[in-house]
Structure 1
């Protein structure tokens, strides 16, 4: 009788877990759709439509990472929450709605203030997202059992990226057929629908039990990850690498739209190639992760990302589309592994009770570095606009790629590969 009851409880637990995983997966569908249509090439295109210059574009691309500093305070405050779920719903809704309001700017704001209005709404949206992000990471790490975490996120990431490629391509076709304000209006209609569905899906998330920190005060809690030398060294190194990467990568769309005069449909196809290669790499990185540590595999992703930057230099001798396709595919392989392994590093290589502060510390340190990357990169593009075209199109990428290789084979080899 006891054995039968134990089996029934086990099956009920498994059933609840599968239900929760389905909810988390379904929630991701509308999320990836609206984020695809509001980010990447579409964000760059919309800002150019509003009249933004490269410096303003660099600031917008950077601000989402800088506000991650707020996660340090959010990680402390969530220790006092009675419900992570409903606080998550609140901050998710504020983030989504404010971001979607940017689509109303041409209809309610005088044209000279379009860019500044976008920056204000976008910044506010991502301030709320810092809290929502730490809550989601904390909650999802409890929803997904450790034994299936790698497989689940591999499958979920593959599904979401496959959907993202279709949405990206469809969005590119819409903007090519309906350029300017009308095309972006159509995109924002889809965005609003997806946002409403996405917020609704969060109502079905479970409110999981929360293992709280052993510290009750902010400073001692903050010191926990700072005293973890292996974690801190790895995080600081990755922050430096992301700084270099973000000098050029977020501005790829700017270079292709403004300097190479590529249309949205072609740009979408390039991003589709990048996403497909990223999806294919998830399986490979996942299998390797069963044999090697997160830190060691993170090291292996870095020269691949650097190579993707160096490939831009081949524009001097090879056809443009051949080079861009190759660069996007290689970048997809590298960044797919980096993102998956960095997430596993945060939720798998850290103590469970202190995980929110560890995740917040990683986000804050890498966020500051990633902030100054596109901000500086955007200003550099403004400064070199009268320089030879080759320097603007691929010179920056080659210089940054070489710098990435140097820090990888020196600092990275010691901090990550031999960890």
Structure 2
């Protein structure tokens, strides 16, 4: 657990510098439009569909640890390599080459992700999972906030190519550090599935009705969420013309509140079930989308601060509790396939969300500017409220009577 926490330090710095608003900024620098940005943001979840086959294949591994080291290292190295594109290729190739390398990086990450989740669920005792991940996520997000702030200052203080050269150089260094630290993970004994064939193994999660109902609902929710949330940075940078520093500061605010919420959600998870707490994250995420509508009457930065506070608390809880749900509410021997099924189903909808959202923003180019800046987000927020209070309440709160208050 100590190693898993400290391994997260270089991993967090690496992923913060190359992801989030910095990824959007880099894509804009390479010449990508809203539809391409939506597609790129969706790639990370599309590859999760392959995890169903990966979960079957890892049953044959002699060592989960070294397979994880290989594929996680490939992810870090390939993503870092996208920073070399402007130096190696003519400008018209920048975006296509980025998509190919980025896709390859996250295909490797899909393999590493299944193995890591399987490993970490065996490394952390069930009795302390909620509290441990709350503390771990709090520490790493505090570091992420500082990294976001420094990265935003770099992008504002230096011209485009110089700034991105600095970011990718620093990220590359921490990618190497991260790879070295992976080697210190323990090779925990692996409890394999009782099934040896693919189809019977696949049927295990499919025949678990409560698991599949919750998974399908959460996948639908993530479709609505990813229609707009991944494109927040695009709206702020391109439509509202906010500086990189301001966007980074807003992301820092989001991360600080996410960080505080991890500890709170982790402690609540000791008393309440994953599904009950997941339900209570939904209105917070919906409120983040609805809050964009206040741009019509209130100062822009005030509204965006509220948007990011709500998003930080809501998404922080959602991600942590969804993770605890798939590693804590599933049978140990079949856990890789349950993890893969959840990742595949939610990955498909999370791929379609930003892809369709990017296309919608492209179609809205000639529409009134208020629709592009906040009208679309508000409309999706209304839909999210309806979904949360109907299907969400019925599916995620179905075991409310089992909870001891």
TM more than 0.5 = yes
Mapped partners of 2:68, 2:270: distance in 1: 32
Q: Is the 8 A contact 2:130 2:267 kept in 1?
A: no
- Counterpart of 1:61 in structure 2 is 41
Does 1:339 find its partner at 2:357?
A: no
Map 1:392-411; keep pairs closer than 5 Å: 392-411=372-391
Partner of residue 265, structure 2? 285
- What residue is the counterpart of 2:341 in the other structure? 361
* Number of the residue aligned with 1:318: 298
| Aligned partner of 1:103 among 83, 88, 92 | 83
In the TM superposition, what are the counterparts of 1:238-277 in structure 2 within 5 Å?
Answer: 238-277=218-257
Q: What is the aligned partner in structure 2 of residue 385 from structure 1?
A: 365
Provide the C-alpha distance between the structure 2 equivalents of 1:200 and 1:165, rounded to a whole number of angstroms.
24
1:247 Cα deviation from its structure 2 partner = 0.4
Cα distance in structure 1, aligned partners of 2:108 and 2:259 = 29
Q: Pick from 285, 289, 310 the counterpart of residue 330 of structure 1.
A: 310
Partner of 2:106: 126
Q: Does 1:169 align with 2:123?
A: no
Secondary structure at the residue paired with 1:290? helix
Q: Deviations over 1:83-132 (max 9, x none)?
A: 00111111011111111110000000110010000000000100111000
Aligned-pair distance for 1:147? Answer: 2.0
Q: Report the equivalent of 2:204.
A: 224
**Cα deviation, residue 287, structure 1:** 2.2
Q: What CA deviation, in whole Å up to 9, does each residue of 1:279-304 have, x standing for no partner?
A: 11112212221221111110110011
**What is the aligned partner in structure 1 of residue 286 from structure 2?**
306
* Residue of 60, 63, 66 corresponding to 1:80: 60
Counterpart contact for 2:134–2:265, Cα < 8 Å: no
Residue 152 (structure 1) shift: 1.3
The alignment partner of 2:366 has SS state of: coil
Distance 1:139 1:292 in 2: 25
CA distance in 1 between partners of 2:21 and 2:81 (Å): 19
TM-score normalised by length of structure 2: 0.98
Query: The residue matched to 1:27 in structure 2 has which SS?
Result: helix
Q: Distance in 2 between matches of 1:132 and 1:255?
A: 32
Counterpart secondary structure, 2:317: helix
Larger Rg: 1
Q: Report the aligned-residue RMSD.
A: 0.7
Cross-structure match for 2:217: 237
1:418 corresponds to 2:391: no
Per-residue deviation, residues 197-218 of structure 1 (Å, max 9, x unmatched): 0000011111000000010001
What is the Cα deviation at residue 179 of structure 1? 2.6
CA-CA distance at 1:340 after TM superposition: 0.8
CA distance in 2, matches of 1:248, 1:270: 16
**Residue of 23, 26, 30 corresponding to 2:10:** 30
How many Å separate the matches in 1 of 2:156 and 2:137?
A: 28
Distance in 2 of aligned mates of 1:146 and 1:339? 18
Q: Distance in 2 between matches of 1:266 and 1:342?
A: 30
TM-score by length of 1: 0.94
Could you list the runs of 4 or more consecutive aligned residues of structure 1 that deviate by over 6 angstroms after TM superposition?
none
Count of aligned residue pairs for this structure pair: 399
Which residue of structure 1 lines up, in the alignment, with residue 51 of structure 2?
Answer: 71
Q: State yes or no: 1:136 paired with 2:144.
A: no
Deviation at 1:162, TM superposition (A): 0.2
1:151: Cα distance to partner? 1.6
In 2, distance between residues paired with 1:140 and 1:290? 19
1:296 matched residue in structure 2: 276
SS of residue in 1 equivalent to 2:150 = helix
| CA drift at 1:146 | 1.7
**Whole-angstrom CA distance in 1 between matches of 2:211 and 2:60:** 25
SS for the counterpart of 1:384 is: helix
Mapped contact 2:295–2:303 kept (Cα < 8 A)? yes
2:17 partner SS = helix
